[in-house]
Amino acid sequence: MSWFFRILMIAALAMVLGIFARANSGYVQIAVPQVFSLETSLNFFIIVLLAAFVVFYVLLRGACVLWRLPRRWRQRSMQKQRQEG
């Protein structure tokens, strides 16, 4: 039953965000003088920013897991030696 309420809340949040995105007519302009100028809608910029955050978070978590892998491997092998010996 709790899954139903979670899905209902996610759907309600999606509806509110959709209404906000449709009513929003703002834009973002990023300019570097004499090099380039980028102009995009605020909605697209927010989506790209959130996607970049998620990708960065996943990459950072993956790097942390890989960094700790040798220590975990050593601990498991030592634990197996203790159980066998």
- Sequential pLDDT tens for the chain (85 residues): 789 999 999 999 989 888 888 888 889 999 999 889 999 998 899 999 999 999 999 999 999 999 998 888 888 888 888 888 6
Give the DSSP letter of residue 1.
-
User: What was the pLDDT predicted at 24?
Assistant: 83
Quickly list DSSP for 15-56: HHHHHHHHH---EEEEEETTTEEEEEEHHHHHHHHHHHHHHH
User: Is residue 28 within 8 Å of 43, Cβ to Cβ?
Assistant: no
pLDDT at 48: 94
The answer to whether 1 and 8 are in contact (CB under 8 A) is no
pTM above 0.75, yes or no: no
